[in-house]
Amino acid sequence: MSFISVFDVLGPNMIGPSSSHTAGAVRLGRVAWKILGDKVVKADIELSGSFAQTYRGHGTDKALIAGIMGMATDDSRIRRAPELAREQGLEVSITTGEIDGAHPNTARVTLTDVTGNTVSLLGSSIGGGNIFVKEVNGMEVSITGQHTTLIVLHRDAPGTIAAVTEVMADAGVNICNFRLSRQSRGGEAVMTIEIDGSFGPELNEKIKVLPNIFSSTMLQPI
């Protein structure tokens, strides 16, 4: 599994006129793509605030599509992302509106893979190419990318948290922030776990095969 950077304190290498509207948007798309974990066949994008007002001029739509297709912030193909999406059979829908209480540069990205599985992410580009993810599948999270972060989608079942943290303890991982949110008792839930230091993909692979785990994504900071 490849890693993705979601935080760059020095400002990103990027294609486009604005770090908020381009680099941040690419990163939001990439996070959604990584969480889905499979080929995207449909993307529904809702833009709010400044994103909604200026996305054509700033290329925010192209940047989000590029991220959804797995491109990095400095990929020269970003400008051609909508065209490349059509060539690959990726159906994209973009709408605008106002999301209550949202940061001015906010997007809700809902992706569908080839098997019909979906992931929905609500996030904002907060300047300098940095992002903040507020929701995953309607469940509240808090992802800034300042630390290595695990996003674990799972069934709300006894012992699931213990199993995940046991794997991490065995690997010598120190948890610096943990958050749990669920849709309903026994339904889908999400753990967001920020950890100290950097760990290889082996840790994430061990978590992915645990009982009741739907997916696990590791986001690495720069």
List all residues 6 or more positions away from 199 whose beta carbon is below 8 Å from its beta carbon: 148, 171, 173, 218
Tell me the per-residue pLDDT of 154-169, one tens digit each, with 9 for 90 and over: 999 999 999 999 999 9
CA dist 86 and 89 (Å) reads: 5
Domains of the chain: 19-136 (3.30.1330.90), 148-219 (3.30.70.260)
Average pLDDT of the residues of the chain? 88
Residue carrying structure tokens 């209480």? 101
Residue 77 has pLDDT above 90, yes or no: yes
Tell me the per-residue pLDDT of 19-62, one tens digit each, with 9 for 90 and over: 556 889 999 999 999 899 889 999 999 999 889 888 888 899 99
CA dist 186 and 113 (Å) reads: 24
* Three-state SS at 133: strand
CA dist 3 and 150 (Å) reads: 11
Instruction: Name the nearest CA neighbour of 77 among 26, 43, 129, 41.
Output: 26
* Three-state SS at 221: coil
Helix H or strand E encompassing 4: none
Number of neighbouring beta carbons within 10 Å of residue 193: 24
Q: Looking at 17-21, 119-123, 186-190, which range is the least confident one?
A: 17-21
pLDDT computed for residue 21 by the predictor: 61
Residue 16 has pLDDT above 90, yes or no: no
Percent of the chain having pLDDT more than 70?
A: 90
pLDDT tier at 18, thresholds 50, 70, 90 = low
